[in-house]
Structure 1
Amino acid sequence: MIRRSCVECGLPFPIQEKGFLYIYSQPLLVESFRSFSFPFIQKDNTILFPYEEKETLKKIIDSLLRLKIKNLFAYTGQKKDKIVQPMISIETLYERIKTEPIVDFIAKGNLVSHFQPIVQLQDFSIYGYESLLRSSDTNIQINPGELFQVAQQTGLHSLLDQRARETAVKSRVNKIGSGVKSFINFLPSTIYNPKFCLQHTFSIVEKYNVEPEDLVFEVVETEKITDVNFLVDIFNTYKESGMKVALDDVGAGYATLEMLKKLSPDYVKVDRQFISYCDQNVEKQSFLQEVMNIAKGMGIKILGEGIERKEELDYCRSIDMDLAQGYYIGKPQAEPVNKIFVI
């Protein structure tokens, strides 16, 4: 689990239409550039490549990448006298130029949350909603998965994750009543110091006057958890602020039953692969029962996700699973539904 720094929560610096590509100079680096077809200026510990258009900038960076120099950092600017922006790796800068429209959306685009209902299996009443990130502009069709993929490639994962958490908290105001939970995804790799990094989230909760106990923060399925103790610290920080935590996709490789015991979350969400046709598969039924035994013994609520068939819903209900979500129950919508009608 890679830990990041504060600079990655900030807005990305703009890619200048024309100006200079600043490269931090390394020993013998200048000699590597002698064969370049692009002119450059050496100034103290910095090498500057002037460019008149972004296409030229792309070509310069592409040529630099071909040299395969390790730890090469850069930024773009218009001043030749001093460094005015934090430097990032040349690879990251190249990705930001290639995906500039999406990078701009990550930084400044209008985000909203859609709501997928989560029900209590005993009576199908609304227990809460999972908040899912969307664009508020219907003319902009950007898949959330694509957003996070570009964010990862461009070093903006922390910024997007922070914006997504804020959007989820803000979106429930005047839409979801007190006592109804909001399940909000978070990426532990974007947090390097839980007590410091999560202060932004806690301030947003206070700003919008949301009850902390109505928020459930869950580790998303894309995270590969290697530092369990660090994740325990993150969970404890949420809990100390009165919020709940969930372990997503239990059984899907990394979220093992052993980890469930170590983390002791408030909720576990059983991965879709164990829910699909669980009514017909003895091995899946055995796994679900094992999860149930451990979680129930620890006072953890169990949520079956990805339910798409009545038979799956009926089986989960028959083994006393607590909660459920999936397309059979309800799809994500811009406005939260108040009631669920299950046939």
Structure 2
Amino acid sequence: MDFPDSIKQQTCRDCLSGASLGFEIRMAFQPIVDWRKKQIISYEALVRGPEGQGAGWVFERINENNRYYFDQACRVKAIETAARLGCDTFLHINFLPNAVYNPETCIKATIEAADMYKFDMTKLIFEVTESEQIIDKDHLQRIFSSYSKRGFKTAIDDYGSGFSRIDWLTDLRPDILKLDMLLIRDIEQCEEKQKVVRDVVKICQLQGSQVLAEGVETQAELDCLLNLGIHLFQGYYLAKPALEELAEVPFDSL
């Protein structure tokens, strides 16, 4: 994927100078659990507006002129807030692949933020967000490869919606594959959904990717997914995202 030199130069200046988006962003955190261990193993950082407005409010204000800085600003804000809250688990950070013109260059601000705020870089997981249509698999593959060489983990979000092609899964080989919540919803009542999940779990086991079910809202969904071989979960049934807080999971009452 190629970007005009003027955009590349402006992007670098923005990252270094802290150019304003025109509005403040904050971060909410939702836990990801390993059910076998009854333990929170990670938090996903979710962008919010200055008064806690949802991601939709934020993305309505993102355009071609501020997309690149927004991607960088989200990474830095996620790391800064997680460090301030004492997060010692893994941290999922969403990124916009179409805002990354060069993986090696665009990761610099992230590394500097982790160093500045004393956050362990080996605990960063970069997750492809659902807010952009990914049209260049080779570009995304280069990003994943670059991040992997630096020791970062990668994840694909919303598999079963935009990322439902098997060839993307096998070519990109993410460390974590997150199943879309529409695939999870009422899965205990749908044999077709169960078959899809079984097939995905088999492929991921063969290539060494972990499967995470997001959007879990009921005990019935969780029980069905456990029977299908999944043990990593995220969703309202466990805990809702909390604005600038690390939400706990009430394992004893689940």
Amino acid at match of 1:230: H
Does the 8 Å CA contact 1:161/1:190 hold for their aligned counterparts? Answer: yes
AA aligned opposite 1:311: A
SS of residue in 2 equivalent to 1:286:
helix
Contact 1:106–1:151 under 8 Å retained in 2: no
- 1:61 aligns with none
Deviation by residue 1:200-220 (Cα, 9 ceiling, x = unmatched) = 112212222211221111001
Structure 2 counterpart of 1:298, from 190, 202, 207:
207
Aligned residue type for 1:218:
E
Counterpart among 164, 186, 194 of residue 103 in structure 2: 194
1:148 to 49, 56, 59: 59
Higher helix fraction: Structure 1 or Structure 2?
Answer: 2
Is 1:161 the counterpart of 2:71? The answer is yes
Identify the residue that residue 121 of structure 2 maps to in structure 1: 212
Name the SS for the 2:161 alignment partner. coil
What amino acid is the match of 2:247?
A: V
1:311 aligns with 2:237: no
Match of 2:191 in 1: 282
- Conserved in 2, the CA contact under 8 Å of 1:124 and 1:340? no
The answer to whether the 8 A contact 1:224-1:254 is kept is no
Distance 2:114 2:215 in 1: 28
Aligned mate of 2:48, from 134, 137, 147: 134
**Shift in Å, 1:326:** 0.7
Q: Which amino acid aligns with 1:149?
A: E
Q: What amino acid sits opposite 1:127 in the alignment? A: I
Distance 1:10 1:148 in 2: 22
Deviation at 1:286, TM superposition (A): 0.4
User: Are the counterparts in 1 of residues 213 and 232 from structure 2 also a CA contact under 8 Å?
Assistant: yes
Partner residue, 1:111: 25
CA distance in 2, matches of 1:159, 1:183: 19
Give the gaps of 5 or more residues in structure 2.
none
* Counterpart Cα distance in 1 of 2:222 and 2:27: 26
Q: Is the 8 A contact 1:268 1:300 kept in 2?
A: yes
Note if 1:230 corresponds to 2:144: no
Deviation at 1:322, TM superposition (A): 2.9
Mapped partners of 1:215, 1:107: distance in 2 = 24
Q: Deviation of residue 110 (structure 1)?
A: 3.4
Deviations 1:135-169 (A, max 9, x none): 3x43xx643223223212x5211111111111111
Query: Cα distance 1:273–1:3, how it changes in 2: closer, same or farther (>3 A)?
Result: farther
Residue in 1 aligned with 2:169? 260
TM-score by length of 2: 0.88
C-alpha displacement at 1:313, in angstroms? 0.9
CA distance in 2, matches of 1:274, 1:106: 38
Which residue of structure 2 aligns with residue 120 of structure 1? Answer: 34
Q: Structure 1's 176 and 304: CA in aligned 2 closer, same or farther, altered over 3 A?
A: farther
- Deviation of 1:295 (Å): 0.5
Determine if contact 1:303/1:325 at 8 Å carries over to the other structure: yes
- 1:56-67 alignment, distance < 5 Å: none
* Deviation of 1:106 (Å): 6.0
Instruction: Tell me which amino acid in the other structure corresponds to 1:273.
Output: L
Confirm or deny that 1:175 pairs with 2:175: no
Shift of 1:320: 2.1
RMSD of the TM alignment (CA)? 2.1
Q: How many residues align structurally?
A: 245
Identity of aligned residues (%): 32
Aligned partner of 1:184 in structure 2 is 93
* Matches of 2:153 and 2:115, distance apart in 1: 16
Question: Matches of 1:149 and 1:177 in 2, distance apart?
Answer: 29
> Given residue 39 of structure 2, which amino acid in structure 1 is its aligned partner?
S
- Using CA pairs under 8 Å that are at least 6 residues apart, name the structure with larger relative contact order, 1 or 2: 2
CA offset digits 1:289-328 (Å, max 9, x no partner): 0110000111111100111111011111122213111111
Report how far residue 10 of structure 1 moved: 5.2
Q: Is the 8 A contact 2:47 2:54 kept in 1?
A: no
Per-residue deviation, residues 77-117 of structure 1 (Å, max 9, x unmatched): xxxxxxxxxxxxxxxxxxxxxxxxxxxx9625433211111
Structure 1: stretches of 5+ with no match in the other structure: 12-104
Assess if the C-alpha contact under 8 Å between 1:8 and 1:155 holds in 2. Answer: no
CA–CA separation in structure 2 for the residues paired with 1:9 and 1:225: 23
